[in-house]
Amino acid sequence: MIQVENLTKNYGSHQALKGISFTVNKGEILGFLGPNGAGKTTTMRILTGFFPATSGKAVVAGFDVFEEPMEVRKRIGYLPENVPLYRDMVVTDYLKFAAGIKGIKKYDMDDRVNKVMDDCALQDVSRKLIGELSKGYRQRVGLAQALVNDPDVLILDEPTIGLDPNQIIEIRKLIKGLAGKRTIILSTHILPEVSMICHRVVIINKGEVVAVDTPQNMTSRIQGGRVWMSEKNWHPGL
């Protein structure tokens, strides 16, 4: 479903990605684990077509990200770390707005919006202003907008950051329930998160893939000191 080969990204003299390669199988949840500044968000933005790569290849759902970016965008739902929500809009209106941007026809819009509100448990707050919602509910709205075009692929960048423990449990459960029908990349710096949700994990550090394994094996390797991260004070369990 997703193939990344020798992907690089340079910002002037700084090389943010150094020829990374990985695959994500259809229906799989892949954890993309690493400290801040490792290259996670850069990779997510390249896969969604928001950033150009310097070199390499990326294919999503059979379409080349660089040669057919609009076809890729039709098939992707993206939840960035900082979701661009409009706080003065009510939830339903915002989701209709997002659906319109994604090309959903008016005759399909109500059904699509109601479906994602059901999936993300938003019906009780559908007429509330987004600015009045808790952080957890705002994150649900962000996830709903990523789902409104019924994408084949979901790319989630730090979806539980800033949430309280109960909200984290709810969002993780919601994401896990989306597996199977959709292929998901979950970017995070928290190892227990990928252990609870993901089928496989890619560890990235300083723009390089340093390990690919199952969460269970990865936990053992990290605890045994066989996977090293260089960012000071970062630990994947925090």
Owner of token pair 């801040």:
36
Q: How far apart are the first and last CA of the chain?
A: 30
- Enter the tokens of residue 134: 């808790």
Q: Which residues, listed in sequence order, are joined to residue 33 by a DSSP beta bridge?
A: 188, 203
Give the Cα-Cα-Cα angle 98, 100, 102 (nearest 5 degrees): 70
The per-residue pLDDT string of the chain (238 residues; one tens digit each, 9 = 90 and over) reads: 899 999 999 999 999 999 999 999 999 999 999 988 899 999 999 999 888 999 999 999 999 999 999 999 999 999 998 888 999 999 999 999 999 999 999 999 999 999 999 999 999 999 999 999 999 999 999 999 999 999 999 999 999 888 888 888 888 988 988 878 899 999 998 888 888 899 999 999 999 999 999 988 877 766 655 554 544 444 455 4
